[in-house]
């Protein structure tokens, strides 16, 4: 079992668009195993490959006791809206109301290159959207607007102050 450390806000890998997976080989299966081991830590709902320092389009999820993964996801069929609190392992200690689609369909592949479709509603839909955003170099705070965004940026500066020049 390999639980990989989570990269924290400020690490450039979190702001870089991840590369598509092109080889469904033993190296990818090892990455998926690490992602799934890492997401099994209590309190975790999802981990994207960039969060463990790997710039590939892959993520794992752990929702309602179901652990899974997806490679090269594409989201479609967004429906409805939910506006619940969202948090991120790469922004520890922060959480803000975030608008997401209430349901979504994710299409991609499993670790063996077989087509995979996940129909998510509620919290699973939120997790699929959150993790797919990571693969585009987007953090949930980037989707916030108005007063919630201003509050999030203030709180982020408070917990992660800018480096001081000498």
Average pLDDT of the chain is 94
Q: Using CA atoms, how far apart are residues 77 and 35, in angstroms rounded to an integer?
A: 26
What pLDDT, on the 0 to 100 scale, is given for residue 111?
98
* 5 occurs within a structural domain: no
pLDDT at 156: 86
Question: 135 φ, ψ to 5°?
Answer: -70, -20
23 falls within a domain: yes
Please give the share of the chain, as a percent, with pLDDT higher than 70: 95
* CA atoms within 13 Å, Cβ hemisphere of 65: 0
Q: How many Å apart are CA 122 and CA 92, to the nearest integer?
A: 23
Binding-site residues, please?
Answer: 88, 130, 134
- Both structure tokens of 74: 């594409």
Burial class (CB in 10 A: 0-12, 13-18, 19+), 89: buried
Confidence grade of residue 133 (pLDDT, cut at 50, 70, 90): very high
Whether residue 66 has pLDDT greater than 90: yes
> Sign of the CA dihedral 133, 136, 141, 144?
negative
Task: Report the CATH number that the domain containing residue 64 is assigned in CATH.
Answer: 3.90.45.10
Give the max Cα distance, the chain.
54
Structure confidence at residue 162 as a pLDDT band (50, 70, 90): low
Known binding-site residues for Fe cation equal 88, 130, 134
Q: Is residue 77 one of the residues assigned to a domain?
A: yes
Phi/psi of residue 71, nearest 5 degrees = -115, 140
| Domain membership of residue 25 as a residue range | 12-158
Local structure of 133: helix, strand or coil: helix
In this prediction, residue 158 has a pLDDT band, given cuts at 50, 70 and 90, of: confident
- pLDDT the model gives residue 166: 46
In a domain, 70, yes or no: yes
pLDDT band at 161 (very low <50, low <70, confident <90, very high): low
Is residue 129 scored above 50 in pLDDT? yes
Q: Is residue 2 part of a domain?
A: no
- Statement: residue 91 has pLDDT above 70: yes
- Total domains present in the chain: 1
Q: Can you name the residues that pair with 85 across neighbouring β-strands?
A: 97
Tell me the per-residue pLDDT of 2-23, one tens digit each, with 9 for 90 and over.
999 999 999 999 999 999 999 9
Residue 116 included in any domain: yes
Predicted pLDDT at 165: 46
Catalytic residue numbers read: 131
């Amino acid at each position: 079992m390999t639980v990989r450390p989570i990269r924290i806000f400020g690490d450039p890998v979190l702001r870089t668009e991840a590369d598509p997976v092109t080889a469904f080989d033993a190296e990818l299966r090892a990455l998926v195993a690490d992602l799934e081991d890492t997401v099994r830590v209590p309190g975790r709902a999802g981990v994207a490959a960039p969060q463990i320092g790997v710039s590939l389009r892959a993520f794992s999820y752990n929702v309602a006791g179901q652990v899974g993964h997806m490679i090269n996801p594409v989201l479609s069929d967004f429906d409805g809206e939910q506006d619940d609190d969202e948090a991120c392992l790469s922004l520890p200690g922060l959480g803000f109301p975030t608008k997401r689609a209430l349901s979504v369909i994710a299409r991609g592949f499993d670790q063996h290159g077989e087509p995979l479709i996940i129909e998510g509603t509620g919290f699973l839909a939120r997790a699929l959207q959150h993790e797919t955003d990571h693969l585009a170099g987007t953090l949930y705070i980037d989707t916030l607007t108005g007063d919630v965004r201003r509050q999030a940026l203030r709180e982020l500066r408070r917990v992660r102050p800018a480096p001081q020049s000498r």
